[in-house]
Structure 1
């Protein structure tokens, strides 16, 4: 009995070893059909081996064996392939043995693995080839039930009266030994599978470790005390560039590969390891391969100590860090290039982490920030809030809104804003950047460029554009005003001349009043055109050298009569004031206009101050209304009041023609525009300074002159001597109505008048009869010869010819010729009869 058990256990254990070999084999891994075939062969051999080790019992007349377990597992684990192989081996062996009940024996050798196949398909293994407890139970139950067949068969074929008892004993015996064999086989196989799985996993771990070490550039170092050199594995051989399998490397060969600069330090550290003063060590050194390439190595050492405390061996891992060092070098080179590029930019690179618990954290700002903010990068790192403190407060909310929108949309940011530098300067910055979420951090990355020069250039361009626009506007207004004045003055000349002719007749007093009223209205119309020409800088000026202090002193007398006693007038006149050259009448008119405006602004109560000063402008100056003022010496005349001031909206329009804040009927809106035109025509400018509830100051800037002030002489009154009557006058005027009126006025005064409609006709008339005593001509006429060119042509042949020029357009004389002489008289239409006759008499005398 003991021998039977021992022999069967040995066979089963041998089967387990063979199964372990099958499942632990790397070549057979993931090849289930091959494994199942081999299992069938192993179990088939075991079946024949177990069949040889049978046992009999005295009470049961048959031989028992333990081959049921291998047969049923051949079907369950080997599947159909294993079942066929093992079943065939068992059946052939039973057939070869012969004896009683051969048929039922062959049947049981074939049916038992078939049951295993059935369970294989009915309860497939979740973790094949491991068999679970429940599956083992099913297999043993099925095997027990299978023995009903031999029980039935033996009871039928045996004629003995106790045949059914004997059959039952045989069936129970085979079932019991079969179940026991199945249980033992199940345990042996499970242990085999577990050991195989451990072996496979260990082999996988070793391979993974080897692969990881190879892929990570690592190798193992092992040196025993008193050995000729260390042991290098294949990884370490590859690192050192040694083309040979793992093995020992002699010390001289190894040390020859160490970089000469690192070898002394490495030898000292290894000596300390061997002496036991240091058991753990990490060090970096360089290896120079035989092909000349340089590798960077990090070595981690550990000393294995003997019982006496001395070092018996040194084990270590060497890691090849060359790729990391090369990457670090490339990264550093990239950073250096980037910093060089950033240094050349007219701005600063910036990176901020917006998710810090203590507020935004400044990660990077380029050192050039000192040139923009006047703050060093280290100061910004110490206090990042300086960026916002120096940001324009009015722009911070808008800037933060742009940042938040960028986080939501991912769109890039462009924002222009201004800062106040540490020294108080204002700079404009262009923010080019974006936002990103990296590893849960909200990052802000930007390049900030200094746009101050661009903004200033843009503002300058806008000022120049505004100057150009105003110049074009003034030119257009001037052309329109000049054209209207020319035509309107001609109309007024006809009206005034005819009214004055009517006034010379004996008319009833009532009609004379009507004529006088019409003459007054005509003269007011002439004043209106003169004011319009003043705004257009085309008024007929007679500039003389003036002392503004004298003008102010004389004007103070009549200014006082225009102001109520509740307005206090003060003057502050600079001694040694430079002389200026200006039209006195226009100057007095401008001073009167500013005085009356001040009176109205103060509503009759307050202080009015008139002051003068010398001003020197060293470089080109653009005034507050975008008008350029050339460098030089200027004399300032200022008129200040203590009124309510002028609002910004009103300030932009006060010099526009016909603009007024006064009620209807109390102001024409031409006063300031006329003053402005007069100043610009005189080469100066007018400036206004105002504060709400404080008052307003108008400053007139006149170019200073080096000429001496002329003595003012009283003009002699011209006597309309009858001796002048009878002279021959030649009139050239293209407007028929004006020409007829002139002829009537002159003939009524006793002159002989010949009138022509153009300069060409006048030249032909004079050439035909050169006995005319005087030429009276308009300046602008149709034809080849204008007024000035007509006078020039006639004087070329008759130099002594006196000429009187008439004009309805202030700039005609300067635009169309240079035929005027200093002694020539130029008259502005409409001309009153008395002024015309005085001029004729003066020339003829």
Structure 2
């Protein structure tokens, strides 16, 4: 081939030169005979030269066809174009298939010849081609293009100059390789490494996190830092009728978008997002294209404004039930490959297990703290309440005896201070799950209705109180006084959160029984399947951050400051609910206020009764009794004297004793209608034993017991009325009236 090319370059010019010499010689020679013969020879040589050129051309074309066939057979995208015209001299079939039969070249910078290049890459490619053309050296360009079939591919093109010199013509040879799959594989490897790194960081976070909120935040940060995902957030399903997903933690600069999300798994419209489906179905859901996924319509514009192109949601499972989700965003279309999803799914399993472990550890620490507080408060409450009883009783007597309004007001302040101390003692007992009172059948709606006037007065006129009660009776086993304290406490907390203005909503509702009831996954086991009565108190205040919400039920934790709160209110609410077999939860957002729920087991068989058939809540005070002879036994002399004086002023005949032997002696020599006896007497004497002896000696004797720690003894089955110290004069007088009118057999202890 090279020899033919050499001959084709040498013979034609030589023959032409020789013919020109002979022609000149002919013009100068008068005798033209020999010259004509020589001209014939020249013409023959020239003809041979032309024939030789034609043969060389045919050979070159044949060799070019062979090269074309060879290029097409290896499926290479190759083309040759003339320089500087840009005219296409050669192209393989692959070139025509990729760029289309009408495409000419990508070498020239004319806009018409760059239409196949992706619009986002077109300007860069034009600049690279111009720079390569000016340099007359081999150069490479990589870009996205839209093929003749409409598919987007990534091409890597290498341009080689051939016989191209400055100011002269030549050719550029282009070799293009489809590197789309290489890019995808490389991107997949990078994503898998990112997911594996995140998995390792999550496992490390689980080992060092001290709380659920801290773990949530650490996980979100690890998923988005160091070229991680565009955004990440964790949400938990709220136990409410609408079952909203509440954001508990997020990372990166998309807080406004994430906090504004309204996702409800059971809603026909708001339940179509990957997060909602992951929580509802307990499976991984991925949207590879936000722009094209029709189920993302409610959130599409907002997501695209953030630059999100793909979304993946992973359920957080406990006992095969989803209690929350981990949601990730990517700015790369088609992100989240199968391998990456598997790694992230393993990450979500580790996260769910870590959350369960942290909650168990937190509950253990809380239980130990409750146990310690219970031991301390139980030991001190009796003596402390006796002291408060002395103060309150004598202050009340003083207020009744004086005629001075000023003095009466001062005694009232003393009484209020003593009762405030009583509330603190009861709160301590309550958070230790030894609340006051004995549960009875009650309708939550009726109890709530009776408290509305008190709550309106407590929150003030600037707070709009809204009430939504379940349409039927909500019967539970509950201590009415304890419920009243809990609900009023929550209302006052809500008022403090809102200030002088806001909306306070009290909502009661029934969550029916049924396995897999949504939102119950993180409830205690005994509350996950049966019907529940829920009382919600919601405010429109500033809400709580996740770390504050997590510590809300912690004893002595308060954000109000030392002058405004003791940190015992919510802890006492939780203690009240736990004492009745239920629990309490806080649902809060920094932008949506706070919702506190009290969840109590519904009384089976009593749900849905009409309000007219509701059980009796509490008996009205009995009429004032006639004069009774009362023996009071208490080892606190100041409290004993105050009670004796109180009953005597009320028209009864009362005497007091400080010890069991004194009481037995009095009972043997005098006739009494009622015995009022403290459970814990001096020198470790048991008041219950004294009561039994007195009842055995006089079966007609009415007996009332009292204690500074009534909750500890309420479950002992004493069988007699039990008063919790300190109590008011009216409470004591009313109790005397109640035992006087009650049947005697109901006042005997259980055997």
TM superposition score normalised by structure 2: 0.48
Higher relative contact order (CA 8 A, sep 6+): 2
